[in-house]
Chains A and B, each alone.
Chain A
Amino acid sequence: MASSTPHAPEAGTRTVTFRIWRGDVSGGQFVVYPVEVTSGMVVLDCVHKIQAEQAQDLACRWNCKAGKCGSCSAEINGKPALMCMTRMDTLPPDEIVTVEPMQAFPIIRDLVTDVSWNYEVKKKIKPFKPRKPDNADGTWTVYQEDVERVQEFRKCIECFLCQDVCHVLRDHHKHDEFIGPRFLVFTAAMEMNPLDTEDRLADLKNRDGIGYCNITKCCTKVCPEHITITDNAIIPLKERVVDEFYDPLTRLFRMFKPK
Chain B
Amino acid sequence: MARPNISLPQVRGFLETKRQDGWWIQPLLVLSGFTAFIVYSTWAAFQGAHYFTGGPTQPGVQQLLSPFYSPVVWDAAGLESGHAWLGPQPIWWPAWMIFSPALLILPFPGLFRFTCYYYRGAYYKAFWGDPVSCAVGEPKFRGENYRGEEKFPLIFQNVHRYALYIAIAFIAILGWDAWCSYWNVAADGSKHFGMTVGSLVLTMNVVLLGGYTFGCHCWRHLVGGKHDCMSCSKVRQRAYSKASWLNARHMLFAWLSLFWVGFSDVYVRLCSSGVWTDWRILG
Are A143 and B231 in contact, CB atoms less than 8 angstroms apart? yes
The minimal Cβ–Cβ distance linking B142 to chain A, given in whole angstroms, is: 7
Chain A at the B interface: SS class: mixed
Q: A106-B7, A170-B135 are in contact. Are A242 and B161 (CB under 8 A)?
A: yes
Asked whether any CB of chain B lies closer than 8 Å to the CB of A68, the reply is no
Cα A231 to Cα B149 in complex, Å, equals: 16
Asked whether any CB of chain B lies closer than 8 Å to the CB of A100, the reply is yes
The minimal Cβ–Cβ distance linking A215 to chain B, given in whole angstroms, is: 4
- Closest-by-CB residue of A relative to B145 is A172
The minimal Cβ–Cβ distance linking B135 to chain A, given in whole angstroms, is: 6
Asked whether any CB of chain B lies closer than 8 Å to the CB of A129, the reply is no
Q: Quick one: CB contact mask for A221-246 with B, threshold 8 Å, 1 for yes?
A: 11000001011000110011011001
Asked whether any CB of chain A lies closer than 8 Å to the CB of B109, the reply is no
Q: How many residues of B contact A (CB 8 A)?
A: 57
Cα A217 to Cα B122 in complex, Å, equals: 9
Are B131 and A167 in contact, CB atoms less than 8 angstroms apart? yes
- Closest-by-CB residue of A relative to B134 is A218
Are B135 and A117 in contact, CB atoms less than 8 angstroms apart? no
Task: List B contacts of A217 (CB < 8 A).
Answer: 121
Task: List B contacts of A230 (CB < 8 A).
Answer: 121
Asked whether any CB of chain B lies closer than 8 Å to the CB of A146, the reply is yes
- Closest-by-CB residue of B relative to A175 is B6
Q: Quick one: CB contact mask for B126-152 with A, threshold 8 Å, 1 for yes?
A: 000011001101100011101111110
Cα A103 to Cα B3 in complex, Å, equals: 19
Q: A77-B19, A106-B8, A171-B12 are in contact. Are A235 and B217 (CB under 8 A)?
A: yes
Cα A67 to Cα B245 in complex, Å, equals: 28
Cα A213 to Cα B229 in complex, Å, equals: 27
Q: Quick one: CB contact mask for A171-201 with B, threshold 8 Å, 1 for yes?
A: 1111111000000000000011110100000
Q: A80-B135, A170-B135, A214-B154 are in contact. Are A176 and B146 (CB under 8 A)?
A: no
Cα A78 to Cα B159 in complex, Å, equals: 36
Q: Quick one: CB contact mask for A141-181 with B, threshold 8 Å, 1 for yes?
A: 00101101000000000000000010110111111110000
Q: Which residues of B contact A (CB under 8 A)?
A: 1-8, 10-12, 17-21, 117-118, 120-121, 124-125, 130-131, 134-135, 137-138, 142-144, 146-151, 154-155, 158-161, 217-218, 220-221, 225-226, 228-231, 237, 247-248, 250
19 extra interface residue pairs, beta carbon distance < 8 Å, beyond A79-B21, A207-B1 = A77-B19, A105-B6, A120-B3, A124-B3, A148-B230, A165-B134, A167-B130, A167-B131, A171-B12, A171-B131, A171-B137, A174-B146, A212-B147, A214-B149, A218-B131, A222-B134, A239-B221, A239-B225, A240-B221
